[in-house]
Amino acid sequence: MRKSLTLPVLLLVLLLATGCTTTRWVNTGGYWLESVDTPDHIANPFLTEKGVYVDDSLTVKLEMWDDGFDIHIKNLGKEPLLVRWEDCRYTDEMGTTHKVMHMKNRYLLFGATVKGGAVLDDFLAPADAQDSSGYDELTPLWRIHSYKSQAEAEAARPDSSSVSVTLALQRAGVTDDYIFTFAGEDYQTSKVEFLDEEKALNAYNISLMLLLLSYIIPALILSL
C-alpha cells in the first residue's frame, strides 16, 4: 500500500517543482570604468590605463562583475581612512539609486577603517540584490530590471548607458564622495527563467504535506 501511494506523490512533487519558474526578459551590455568624479579639493586625481584611480591620499581599484564590484582601497596617508558603507550607493542604468552592502559582513552596513598604509579588499553589491531565498548568492545586476515581454524589454533598452558607484570616504572628520562611472554599450535582450520564490515555497509546503500523508494514511489503514 505504501509503495502505491508514494510513487504518485513523488510524481506530483516533481510536477509542482517544474512550475516554480517564471519567464522574464532582461537587457545586458558590456561596461568599463570611464571616469571618477571627486570634490575640487582632492589633490592630483587621475585614472590610470589599467583602471586604477589614484590621488595624493589613496588608490582605488573598482572592478565590475556580473553581480557586483570588487573593491581594493589603499590608504596612502598617515591618518585613518573610514569607508562609510551606509552612505555608499549604486546607481543603475535606469537612474535608480540603491543602498549597498559589502560582502565581508553583508548584514551590517557599518564603516570600515583603513589605517595609514593599509589595504582594504572587499566586494560591493546593491543591498536589494541579495537572494532572498537564504542562499549565499547575489542577484545579477542586470536582473534588477526585468520585464514580462520581449517588446517591453526592448522598448526600455538604451543604446548606451552608464552605472555608477559612489564611495563615501571619510578622513579627519571630512567625508568625500568619489563617483566611479562605468559606461555601457552593446545591449542585448535575452529571455531568462527566474525562480518564483512564492511558488517555490508553496510547492515545498504542499510537497511536504503530501509526503507526510503518504506515510500517515497507510499507517492509519493498517491500524484499523
As a dihedral over the C-alpha atoms of residue 44, residue 49, residue 50, residue 52, rounded to 10 degrees, the angle is: 20
**CB distance 166 to 154 below 8 Å:** no
* pTM for the structure as a whole: 0.77
Cβ atoms 159, 150 nearer than 8 A: no
- The residue count for the chain: 224
Q: In the chain, where are the structural domains located?
A: 1-20+196-224, 23-193
**Tens-of-pLDDT digits for all 224 residues of the chain?**
444 445 554 545 554 455 577 889 999 989 999 999 999 999 999 999 999 999 999 999 999 999 999 999 999 999 999 999 999 999 999 999 999 988 886 555 567 899 999 999 999 999 887 655 444 578 899 888 999 999 999 999 887 889 999 999 999 999 999 999 999 988 899 998 876 666 666 656 666 676 666 666 666 666 66
With the C-alpha atoms ordered 211, 215, 218, 224, is the resulting torsion angle positive or negative?
A: negative
